[in-house]
Amino acid sequence: MAQAISRRNFLRGGLATAAGVAASGVVLPQAVRAAGGQELCTVLDLSKCIGCEACVDACRETWQATVPDPVNPMPKPFPSRVPTQDWSKRKDVSDRLTPYNFLYVEHLDFEHKGQALELHVPRRCMHCVNPPCANLCPFGAGRVEKNGIVNIDPDVCLGGAKCKQVCPWHIPQRQSGVGVYLDIMPSYAGNGVMFKCHRCLPLVKQGKQPQCVEVCPEHVQTIGLRPQMLAQAEALARQKAQADGAAPDRWRDYVYGIEENGGTNTVYVSPVPFAVVSAAVNQAHAQAAPGQGKGRAGAGKQGGKRRKAGFAGRPPMGPVNNTMESAENLTAALVLAPLAGLAAGFTRLFGKKQPPSDQPPQEQPPSEQGGQS
């Protein structure tokens, strides 16, 4: 009796085929590493954020249409235990990360030193300096651009969700029924595409600012080269620590992103220690239901089933060790690097090629609109 086809066997065979593809001249992904010193970093001063969500609206208006709707009917994966995820009927959800919502604002109410405080925290991809999502993607879909932006190529991604599993904040979100796997073997080759903030990469390539930075009425975010931004974050954190009555050497308690996961290119500075912020985030998540919230009214104030922090696209904000320092992940990255390149060549050869895009959808003719850039 012929051996039954499994997803693993199919992908193993696909990689063998991809070896020939790579040899034929298909361009493989760049090395998964940012060019040192050239990364763009953003610093967010949380004391300025008023929670207006103008950044959320601008992001959605610019990029939501670039995420395609799934095919109908959606292919059923094999084996049947493999889950599908469909957010296409819930595009209005804006109180968490979804494939159609790359940014949301966490609204927090808590006490600090006997005073009731309110804090608003814009959440999106952290754009790690050494991102496990890119280093450990078995299909070569994740990469770090020369400007430090961590990006998922929708023309290569098969929706396996490894990136979400290894991300300390579980940022990428899957939309099933879209992507290159539909052109290969939908039941065996994948399960959609993973989507997340690409920090307005097409606009940044043109020398423009990300939309969330551009539209903010309070100038919460500042973007620039990483060394200058880290210096700015430290100076600002020292001010916050002094204002809060902390010792001068405790300024790192007021900054998040400089050391987390080995360093990120999204750095937050808070008027209170991040241990307090993290506790408030966890409390908000514990009180929230995994339902259909839309914006502030739905965030953190829904009853119902309790869930772990970070579930359903609402990331935690606690301490994070450098995941790429573990021997297991380092070994996996070394093994996966050549295989991921072959897998990327395979998907590019057999998938439908999308025309390149350097513009958001409203600036393109309809024929050029496609997946997330």
Tell me: the pLDDT tens digits for 155-214? 889 898 999 999 999 999 999 999 988 888 788 878 899 999 999 999 999 999 999 999
pLDDT band at 27 (very low <50, low <70, confident <90, very high): very low
pLDDT band at 138 (very low <50, low <70, confident <90, very high): confident
As a whole-number percent, the residues of the chain with pLDDT over 90 amount to: 58
- Read off the tokens for 337: 């690097």
CB atoms within 10 A of CB 165: 12
* Residue 11, pLDDT above cutoff 50: no
Provide the pLDDT for residue 93: 95
Residue 361 lies in a domain: no
Residue 364 lies in a domain: no
Provide the pLDDT for residue 343: 55
CATH of the domain at 337: 3.30.70.20
pLDDT band at 76 (very low <50, low <70, confident <90, very high): confident
Provide the pLDDT for residue 329: 58
Residue 342 lies in a domain: yes
**Helical pair 327-350 and 7-23, crossing angle rounded to 10 deg:** 70
pLDDT band at 344 (very low <50, low <70, confident <90, very high): low
Buried b (16+ CB within 10 A) or exposed e, 75-91: bebbeeeeebbbbbeeb
Domain that holds residue 38: 33-277+289-353
Between 70-79, 163-172, 181-190, 315-324, the lowest mean confidence (pLDDT) is in 181-190
Mean pLDDT of 20-47: 58
Contact 267, 258 (CB under 8 A): yes
Residue 92 lies in a domain: yes
Contact 161, 172 (CB under 8 A): yes
Provide the pLDDT for residue 341: 53
* Residue 310, pLDDT above cutoff 50: no
Across the chain, mean pLDDT equals: 80
* Residue 104, pLDDT above cutoff 80: yes
Q: How far apart are CA 46 and CA 33, in angstroms?
A: 29
pLDDT band at 78 (very low <50, low <70, confident <90, very high): confident
Residue 59 lies in a domain: yes
Q: Which among 2-16, 82-96, 330-344 has the top mean pLDDT? A: 82-96
Provide the pLDDT for residue 264: 97
* Residue 309, pLDDT above cutoff 50: no
* Residue 18, pLDDT above cutoff 90: no
Residue 110 lies in a domain: yes
Q: How far apart are CA 107 and CA 29, in angstroms?
A: 38
* Residue 283, pLDDT above cutoff 70: yes
Provide the pLDDT for residue 77: 85
Q: Burial-class residue 18 by CB neighbours within 10 Å (0-12, 13-18, 19+).
A: buried
Residue 371 lies in a domain: no
**What's the domain count of the chain?**
1
Mean pLDDT of 147-159: 93
CB atoms within 10 A of CB 36: 9
* Residue 148 or 303, more confident: 148
46-64, pLDDT tens digit by residue? Answer: 999 999 999 999 999 999 9
Q: How far apart are CA 177 and CA 94, in angstroms?
A: 21
* Residue 8, pLDDT above cutoff 60: no
pLDDT band at 365 (very low <50, low <70, confident <90, very high): very low
- Read off the tokens for 135: 């280093």
Find tokens 């239901």 and name the residue.
289
* Residue 371, pLDDT above cutoff 70: no
List helix spans (H) across 178-289.
201-205, 211-215, 226-243, 274-287
Provide the pLDDT for residue 287: 86
Expressed in percent and rounded to 5, the helix, strand and coil fractions of the chain are 35, 15, 50
Provide the pLDDT for residue 312: 80
* Structure letter (DSSP) for residue 223: E
* Residue 109 or 146, more confident: 109
Residue 244 lies in a domain: yes
Provide the pLDDT for residue 303: 32
